[in-house]
Amino acid sequence: MIEFKQIHKSYRVAGHDVPALNGIDFQIGAGEIFGIIGHSGAGKSTLVRLINLLERPSAGQVIINGTDITALDAAGLRAQRQRIGMIFQHFNLLSSKTVAQNVAFPLALAGEHGKAQIKARVAALLARVGLTEHADKYPAQLSGGQKQRVGIARALATEPQILLCDEATSALDPQTTQAVLQLLADLNRELKLTIVLITHEMDVVRRIADRVAVLDAGQVAEIGPVAEVFLHPQHPTTRRFVLEAESVDEGEQVDDYAHVPGRIVRLTFTGDATYQPLLGAVARDAGVDFSILAGRIDRIKDTPYGQLTVAFTGGDVNAALQQLAARGLSIEEVRA
Ligand SMILES: Nc1ncnc2c1ncn2[C@@H]1O[C@H](COP(=O)(O)OP(=O)(O)OP(=O)(O)O)[C@@H](O)[C@H]1O
């Protein structure tokens, strides 16, 4: 478990303190995939770099599995860092070393492994990330997705319990992003690896994270299970991220509905309800008509969800909405 306790961090720039984090106080559970999302300058990189003490807090504590890492001595910190892997947006591979040598590097650095042992471990890691036949190539000969797989294999070499991902898919195309996220999700399950990923893309969080914290100006604006935060965003920053992810312009949409008669609501279905014919049954029962103005069915990690914007006319609309709510749908009024 990773605990941030009353973290403050400022940078000293030209004689002035520039605040980056302002009272961060939350926990990340062991084995979780935890997303940290925020706009540029929100403090994401600073926060994630506190976990391996690439940055030190100005005040507060970072506690990992009960140990206050801000209080460790140099040897303690070295040992702690081996239990934390990190991958980066631009991969940070050594260009003069082969794929296998890049992956072997942290093992050689740790100094605890013999040559044969390193060779076997590197082979196993490369097989796991699907790069066996690229072992002797140099980074420049690989695609972006392959480079990030090398980054992942290298980060996992010392068998860390925590993997930090700093915009790890931001330089990749959508298809490659999907494959790398799938690999991270599989590794999380297989190795019970805790994954902390920072991103400015809600879609990355939606695909693999269990929980998310939305950072805004150095503070946590919103935190919770991804489905909750994504489907019912409370903070304006979160709403903006969700709308970006869905390519929806809410203002435009409401204007478009100006000529649509009836009461307009947004219905959110999750889990099994997503595939049930609830809307038709309830409409028949309450004697209302409905027209669907917008809709999507998608997944948040493994949970299917549907969101429909619907205009109800005629009959007893209140009764229809009550019935839908009773069946577990959540209902937001778009226009009364
Ligand atoms: N080494 C540094 N020296 C001075 N100021 C810094 C340093 N690193 C970050 N900052 C400042 O701290 C604040 C938070 O930066 P940080 O890089 O953590 O944000 P971020 O959310 O990761 O942004 P981005 O997505 O652009 O990387 C910003 O105001 C930034 O200018």
Going by CA atoms, what residue is nearest to atom 30 of ligand 1? Answer: 41
Question: Which atom in ligand 1 lies closest to the alpha carbon of residue 198?
Answer: 22
Q: Does the Cβ of 20 fall within 6 Å of ligand 1?
A: yes
Q: State pLDDT tens for residues 232-273.
A: 899 999 988 888 777 655 555 667 788 888 899 988 888 777
Question: Which atom in ligand 1 lies closest to the alpha carbon of residue 42?
Answer: 21
Question: Which atom in ligand 1 lies closest to the alpha carbon of residue 55?
Answer: 1
The preferred substitution site among 13, 40, 88, 204 for testing ligand 1, maximizing ligand atoms within 8 Å of CB, is: 40
Q: Between helices 144-156 and 99-110, what is the axis angle to 10°?
A: 20
Domain boundaries, the chain: 2-244, 258-335
pLDDT score of 254: 65
pLDDT score of 80: 87
pLDDT score of 247: 64
What is the rounded CA–CA span in Å between residue 159 and residue 190?
Answer: 12
The preferred substitution site among 44, 55, 198 for testing ligand 1, maximizing ligand atoms within 8 Å of CB, is: 44
Q: What angle do CA 198, 250, 230 make, to 5 degrees?
A: 35
Q: Does the Cβ of 160 fall within 6 Å of ligand 1?
A: no
> Are 28 and 9 spatial neighbours (Cβ–Cβ below 8 Å)?
no
Q: Does the Cβ of 9 fall within 6 Å of ligand 1?
A: no
Going by CA atoms, what residue is nearest to atom 16 of ligand 1? Answer: 43
Q: In what order do the strands lie in the sheet with 330-335?
A: 289-300, 303-313, 263-270, 330-335
Going by CA atoms, what residue is nearest to atom 11 of ligand 1? Answer: 20
Question: Which atom in ligand 1 lies closest to the alpha carbon of residue 167?
Answer: 25
Of 257, 265, 270, the closest CA to residue 283 belongs to 265
Same fold, 2-244 and 258-335: no
pLDDT score of 160: 94
Q: Does the Cβ of 45 fall within 6 Å of ligand 1?
A: yes
CB atoms within 10 A of CB 236: 11
What is the rounded CA–CA span in Å between residue 165 and residue 217?
Answer: 21
CA 271 to ligand 1 centroid distance, Å: 38
Tell the CATH superfamily of the 2-244 domain: P-loop containing nucleotide triphosphate hydrolases (3.40.50.300)
Among the four given CATH numbers 3.10.450.240, 2.30.110.10, 3.30.450.20, 3.30.70.260, the one describing domain 258-335: 3.30.70.260
Question: Which atom in ligand 1 lies closest to the alpha carbon of residue 9?
Answer: 12
> Are 294 and 310 spatial neighbours (Cβ–Cβ below 8 Å)?
no
All residue ranges of the chain with pLDDT < 50 are none
Q: Between helices 115-128 and 144-156, what is the axis angle to 10°?
A: 130
> Are 226 and 242 spatial neighbours (Cβ–Cβ below 8 Å)?
no
pLDDT score of 219: 96
Q: Does the Cβ of 46 fall within 6 Å of ligand 1?
A: yes
